[in-house]
């Protein structure tokens, strides 16, 4: 298996609310795109699975194969196809994947009898197959967890190469971040994990290895592509 045949995921996923609305996140895929660029310049054969392919304009389009996704379901389907048929030796999964999906949208139609302090609502589901109208005073959306794509890479899709996971937390100490990152890496059977907080994401990143989970490398964020290349290819 050739480590230098690399799949990089980058960007965000959307889960639909109706046919015109969706839930996504703030990440566009610049980190993954920069990693793909750096690995390509080192002579790797890179496929970039990204939500915002215009970012590939930062380097020649013919230097990397680009595959676009928008929704969580699209990313899952395309990753399954690529992982099971692409012959990759390294997967760098930096995409910011949706943690929840819509399981229903509801509106109040009445209240059930109950005590004065707490009454149960009577609700009915709102049709989301088209566009949900703007004539509702209130709506409630039910969200359920999505399956973690990173956990399917080995368990379901049989990948045996080098796997890199990313973990971002918010408003957390380094000590707590490190504990969560190591546990997350081992749970997903990843070889490496890149961890950081939202507050410091432009400044620093931490790389952990499953071979030495009690140690880490702290690097300036701008040096992440080169540091990750050195870690993966050694």
Same domain, 152 and 131: no
Same domain, 95 and 105: no
Last residue of a domain, one of 143, 174, 208: 143
**Which band of pLDDT confidence, cut at 50, 70 and 90, is reported for residue 61?**
low
Give the CATH number, domain containing residue 92: 3.40.50.10300
Domain holding 183, by residue range, is: 5-99+146-233
Same domain, 124 and 159: no
Q: How large is the average pLDDT for residues 90-110?
A: 92
Q: What is the mean pLDDT of the chain?
A: 91
Same domain, 66 and 116: no
Same domain, 201 and 85: yes
Per the structure, the count of domains in the chain is 2
- DSSP result, 32-66: HHHHHHHHHHTT-EEEEEES-GGGGGGS-GGGSEE
Same domain, 53 and 25: yes
Q: Over the stretch 19-40, which tens digit does the pLDDT of each residue have?
A: 999 999 989 999 999 999 999 9
What b/e string do you get for 124-158 counting C-beta neighbours within 10 Å, with b at 16 or more? eebebeeebeeeeeeeeeeeeebeebbebbbeebe
pLDDT at residue 124, rounded to an integer = 86
Q: What span, in angstroms and rounded, lies between the C-alpha atoms of 14 and 95? A: 12
């Amino acid at each position: 298996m050739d480590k230098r045949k690399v799949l990089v995921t980058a960007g965000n996923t959307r889960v639909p609310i109706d046919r015109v609305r969706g839930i996504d996140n703030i990440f566009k895929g610049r980190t993954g795109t920069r990693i793909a660029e750096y690995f390509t310049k080192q002579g790797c054969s890179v496929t970039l699975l990204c939500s915002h392919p215009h970012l590939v304009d930062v380097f020649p389009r013919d230097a990397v194969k680009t595959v676009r996704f928008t929704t969580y379901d699209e990313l899952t389907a395309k990753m399954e196809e690529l992982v099971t048929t692409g012959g990759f030796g390294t997967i760098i999964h930096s995409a910011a994947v949706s943690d929840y999906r819509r399981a229903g949208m509801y509106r109040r139609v009445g209240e059930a009898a109950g005590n004065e302090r707490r009454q149960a609502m009577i609700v009915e589901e709102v049709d989301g197959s088209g566009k949900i109208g703007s004539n509702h005073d209130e709506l409630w959306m039910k969200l359920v967890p999505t399956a973690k794509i990173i956990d399917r890479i080995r368990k379901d899709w049989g990948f045996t190469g080098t796997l890199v996971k990313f973990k971002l937390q918010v408003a957390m100490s380094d000590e707590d971040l490190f504990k969560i990152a190591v546990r997350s890496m081992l749970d997903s059977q990843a070889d490496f994990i890149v961890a950081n907080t939202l507050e410091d994401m432009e400044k620093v990143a931490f790389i952990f290895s499953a071979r030495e989970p009690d140690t880490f490398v702290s690097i300036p964020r701008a040096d992440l592509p080169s540091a990750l290349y050195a870690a993966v290819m050694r």
